[in-house]
Structure 1
Amino acid sequence: MFALIGRKAGGPRGRSQALYLGAEERRVLPRPLRRVFRFCVSLATGRIHIPAHTGTVSAAGFFAAVGLYGMSLGGHGQAVAQATTAAVGFAIEDVRVSGNDQTSEIDILQLLGLDGTTSLVALDIDSARRKLSALPWVQYAEVRKIYPKTIEVMLKERQAFGIWQHGSELSLIEKNGSVIAPLRDNKFASLPLFVGRDAEAAAASFEDALSGWPELKNRVKAYVRIAGRRWDLHLDNGVVLKLPEGNVAKALAMLAKLEKDQGVLERDVAAVDLRLEDRTTVQLTPGALDRRREALDARSKALKKLGEQS
């Protein structure tokens, strides 16, 4: 009986008690380190097989990573990526541009830096769009990649409405008054000329106000803004129409009546002042004024002679 009890004490129950007591006496590794410890034991005992040349490949990968990190810190990553992708067949060879009436294709290529070796993969579309939108005539730009070697540029350009003279400078303006670019040639000579401070901002609304008098509008060569409040119209025959600050329609109606009844704009007139509602003042040209003075002198002499004879 004693032997049976002794075997039971050394059996499974006894071993579990012994392990339990031993576990309390020794330290247990934290759970995250157990797998690492097991891997190291397996590696040391040869239970894990390492392929040949693993060390060489790992070293090459390590040096490649260090090189890429160094290029990134030095700012050469983009250049290396561009050169690499261009060398394998992604160099931009075809550029399709549309919507550019005033913008030169050469300016577009130079602005984007396309020199025949630029990589389509490395091209920054957002940066290219921002650069193109900064061109004077460009209102909106869209850039698309067409693999493997083509880039498509689509532009929407601003429309010139008139010429604005401010001081000695001439600039092309949009209908909303925004300046497009300086006037460089005479290809826009047919556009209306607006002169003076704030003339570019008020140009469109005033020209629209003249739509009811198309014959007069066709004869205007320059719209001159006076003190930012009113307009003088310079006609093709040199006559200056001085318009009021307000109620321009009434003043133009009065001018139309004078032109119909007396042909005032076809005479030796330098200016027609329409600023006052109750009267119209006509300024003669210097030659007409001299002739008028001569006529008045001759009339005075004739009257004087008649008086002496009587």
Structure 2
Amino acid sequence: MRLPARLVIGAKRLMVSLSGSYLTDGGGKWLLAAFLAATGIYGAYQGGRLPAVMESGRDVADVAANIAGFKIKTINLSGQNHVTPSEILATAGIKPTSSLPFLDAELARTRLEELAWIKRATVQKLYPDRLDIQLVEREGFALWQKDGKINVIARDGTVIAPYSDDPRYVSLPIVVGDGAQKHVVEIVEALQQVPGVRGQVRAAIRVANRRWTLKMRNGIDVRLPEKGVDDSLAQLAMLDRDKQILTRDITVIDLRLPDRVSVRLSDAAYEARQADLKAKAKAAKKGGNT
């Protein structure tokens, strides 16, 4: 393992300085102490013990600062609903022995914002002994199903937590498939414009990461186009209002072509229609022979 170049250069300069001084002088003693400290750091780095040595150094510094009256006595937390206080403190690196001067507030903020639930964090040191931590948490926006697993996701698609029976999650819209989490806003906001349709949607399935198919609660699949989703949903809402299309005995409603709506009948409905057409044809033939 190589020592960082900056530390090597510093050690060389120190050795040159020592070579021209008397160790019996006060300045020489301080230089010797600095040289020995640098040697100790080098040895710790070579032995892979540098993080432990630095942590011990911080502990010693905290003890000194605490004696001087800078021990963190008050911690004000605000904005947390899903993250526990113990998780916040542990993530921020705050221990019972931590002191205010040697707490890296910026590093604590960065670590807190790495937690899935936390969108934004502010860490403020108020001397001599108070720390304020303000959090803005992400909110569950939808449920994302992929590979048989369901997770709660935020508006930006960030996975927040595995799905549970928490009442806050039960009514969230469901999106399914690869890429669905990245495009969740577009389909959720489009469905909000047609509440009559939205209430009948069981899930929105992302197809080939290009378009959506809506799985309705009664089993009908509504195939939406890649573009013009808002217009297609408005058309679907109108058809359902005027023709009750979403309650018909059909399996597929295809809205992918801008100039037509295609439907696929269920097997039972198809057989019934074929029988009806045959009966009409037979009646028409019989009427023509009379």
Give the TM-score, by structure 1 length.
0.64
Which of 261, 274, 294 aligns to 2:242? It is: 261
Which of 183, 187, 203 aligns to 1:206? It is: 187
CA offsets per residue over residues 23-50 of structure 1, 9 Å max, x none?
Answer: xxxxxxxxxxxxxxxxxxxxxxxxxxxx
Give the Cα separation in 1 of the matches to 2:60 and 2:111: 23
Once the two structures are TM-superposed, the CA of residue 88 in structure 1 deviates from its matched residue by 4.6
Alpha-carbon spacing, 1:62–1:233, altered in 2? closer, same or farther (3 Å): same
> Are residue 186 (structure 1) and residue 186 (structure 2) matched?
no
Unaligned runs of 5+ in 1: 1-54
Once the two structures are TM-superposed, the CA of residue 213 in structure 1 deviates from its matched residue by 1.9
1:1-310 alignment to 2 at 5 Å?
66=33, 70=37, 73=41, 75=54, 76-175=56-155, 177-187=156-166, 188-285=169-266, 292=272
- Name the counterpart of 2:4: none
Once the two structures are TM-superposed, the CA of residue 230 in structure 1 deviates from its matched residue by 1.9
Give the Cα separation in 2 of the matches to 1:124 and 1:260: 61
Contact 1:158 1:180 survives alignment (8 Å): no
Count the aligned residue pairs.
246
CA offsets per residue over residues 97-131 of structure 1, 9 Å max, x none?
Answer: 11122222111112234332222232222221221
Contact 2:211 2:225 survives alignment (8 Å): yes
Contact 2:153 2:161 survives alignment (8 Å): no
Give the Cα separation in 2 of the matches to 1:111 and 1:157: 15
Alpha-carbon spacing, 1:261–1:146, altered in 2? closer, same or farther (3 Å): closer
Once the two structures are TM-superposed, the CA of residue 249 in structure 1 deviates from its matched residue by 4.5
Once the two structures are TM-superposed, the CA of residue 224 in structure 1 deviates from its matched residue by 1.0
Contact 2:146 2:178 survives alignment (8 Å): yes
- Name the counterpart of 1:37: none
Once the two structures are TM-superposed, the CA of residue 279 in structure 1 deviates from its matched residue by 4.2
* C-alpha RMSD of matched pairs (Å): 3.8
Give the Cα separation in 2 of the matches to 1:296 and 1:204: 45
Alpha-carbon spacing, 1:184–1:216, altered in 2? closer, same or farther (3 Å): closer
Give the Cα separation in 2 of the matches to 1:157 and 1:251: 35
Secondary structure of residue in 2 paired with 1:102? coil
CA offsets per residue over residues 44-81 of structure 1, 9 Å max, x none?
Answer: xxxxxxxxxxx9xx79x958x93997398353432211
203-212 or 185-194, larger mean C-alpha shift: 203-212
Contact 2:143 2:163 survives alignment (8 Å): no
Secondary structure of residue in 1 paired with 2:199? helix
Once the two structures are TM-superposed, the CA of residue 87 in structure 1 deviates from its matched residue by 3.9
223-232 or 233-242, larger mean C-alpha shift: 233-242
Alpha-carbon spacing, 1:231–1:96, altered in 2? closer, same or farther (3 Å): same
Give the Cα separation in 1 of the matches to 2:74 and 2:262: 66
Secondary structure of residue in 2 paired with 1:221? strand
Contact 1:240 1:271 survives alignment (8 Å): yes
Alpha-carbon spacing, 1:100–1:237, altered in 2? closer, same or farther (3 Å): same
Once the two structures are TM-superposed, the CA of residue 190 in structure 1 deviates from its matched residue by 1.8
Give the Cα separation in 1 of the matches to 2:254 and 2:113: 46
Contact 2:93 2:108 survives alignment (8 Å): no
Contact 1:242 1:271 survives alignment (8 Å): yes
Give the Cα separation in 2 of the matches to 1:239 and 1:271: 6
Alpha-carbon spacing, 1:257–1:180, altered in 2? closer, same or farther (3 Å): closer
Contact 1:92 1:114 survives alignment (8 Å): no
Give the TM-score, by structure 2 length.
0.68
Q: Amino acid of the residue matched to residue 173 of structure 2?
A: P
Give the Cα separation in 1 of the matches to 2:220 and 2:79: 41
Contact 1:160 1:180 survives alignment (8 Å): no
Alpha-carbon spacing, 1:215–1:293, altered in 2? closer, same or farther (3 Å): closer
Give the Cα separation in 2 of the matches to 1:247 and 1:118: 57
- In percent, how many aligned pairs have the same letter? 32
Give 1 or 2 for the bigger CA radius of gyration: 1
CA offsets per residue over residues 186-242 of structure 1, 9 Å max, x none?
Answer: 332322112223222322223333444221123322111112222111223332211
